[in-house]
Amino acid sequence: MKKTFKLSIEGKNRDRVLDAVKHEVRKYVARERRRPLAPGVDFLDFDCRFGLSEATAADAHLSALNGLIDEAAKGGADQLYVEILAKAGHRRARPQAVGESAASV
């Protein structure tokens, strides 16, 4: 999803528009996670970017998006850009600590 959301819409309450933006982001992520995984893929990971425009968007973590949206709205932004791209995720084994045996993991 690559989308620019307008926060100042004539005749609509700004707080309700903000809630709608957050809902759309959560709905997109949930829809992507419901898709069947390709063979060899352990989970879906997401590459996210956030900014006031597409040109100023910077990398962000998926769990930080709601906070970034709130922060931009409190700053008086009229629009914001959100980009969320799903990618294949592969689990990696945790490195063993010194003195820890494989049986205790």
In this structure, is residue 41 part of a structural domain?
A: yes
Q: State the average pLDDT over residues 13-32.
A: 96
Phi, psi angles (nearest 5°) of residue 18: -60, -45
The pLDDT value given to residue 104: 56
Global pTM value: 0.81
Look up the domain containing 83 and give its range.
2-90
In this structure, is residue 95 part of a structural domain?
A: no
In this structure, is residue 22 part of a structural domain?
A: yes
Percent of the chain topping pLDDT 70: 94
Q: Which residues contact 20 (CB under 8 A, 6 or more apart)?
A: none
In this structure, is residue 105 part of a structural domain?
A: no
The pLDDT value given to residue 92: 87
In this structure, is residue 70 part of a structural domain?
A: yes
Question: What tokens does 70 get?
Answer: 């709130």
Domain count for the chain: 1
pLDDT in tens, 46-82: 999 999 999 999 999 999 999 999 999 999 999 999 9
